[in-house]
Amino acid sequence: MNGLSRKFWFLGLAMAIALAPVCLAAGKRGTKSPARAKPGAALEVEPTPPLSLEVKLVNLQKNSRGGVATVALEALSALDLQEVTVTVSLPPDVTFADGTRVFTQTVNLSAGSTYKLPKDLLVGKDGKFMVSVEAAGITTQGKPVHRGTAYKLLVGAEESLPPVKDGAIEYQGVPDGGA
């Protein structure tokens, strides 16, 4: 054997000797007594809220100034909920088809059910508008549930993106680090 191959042979032998206890311990992991066994990795479960809200734009009929937007609200229940009050609030220059700016309805939701509410919104001018949605109810065990969300409605306007510098989006910082 030449000098170089002898070095690799000894290096391989040394690694095998060093790794043998680790491999044996891994093979015996299932046979350890419960008192000596190490706990495994904790399973992380993302908590799901008992009620979720989603607002989608279904259709937008653009007029010369403003337009008619059809939005769909979906409330999905993971538990049986009683007396869920859904409230949709609109900003100035946006109304429902009946001329009001606030819509409220109370429903009961069973576990796994979805409450769907399509609504037409009359928008008086072009711009960005925030549609606010809230839902509050009670579980069958008497615990209160409250969720809220907002939807940015764009009519005749586009979302302005922050400037890009060196391939990255540049967001405005907070003076003095927000302190």
Average pLDDT across the chain, whole number: 81
Which of the four pLDDT bands, split at 50, 70 and 90, describes residue 69?
Answer: very high
Whether residue 142 has pLDDT greater than 90: no
CATH number of the domain located at residue range(s) 51-155 in this protein: 2.60.40.10
What residue spans define the domains of the chain? Answer: 51-155
What residue ranges in 31-166 does DSSP mark as E strands? 51-62, 67-77, 81-89, 94-96, 102-109, 114-123, 127-139, 144-155, 164-165
Q: Which of 87, 97, 104, 91 is nearest to 154 (CA)?
A: 91
pLDDT at 168: 84
Query: Which residue is listed with tokens 């609030």?
Result: 89
pLDDT at 150: 92
Angle made by CA atoms 5, 7, 8, in degrees to the nearest 5: 65
Query: When comparing pLDDT for 101 and 6, which is higher?
Result: 101
Which of the four pLDDT bands, split at 50, 70 and 90, describes residue 31?
Answer: low
pLDDT at 175: 72
Query: When comparing pLDDT for 50 and 14, which is higher?
Result: 50
Name, in order, each residue with C-beta under 8 angstroms of 91's C-beta and a sequence gap of 6 or more.
101, 129, 130, 131
> Whole-model pTM?
0.63
Report the alpha-carbon distance of residue 15 to residue 107 in Å, rounded: 68
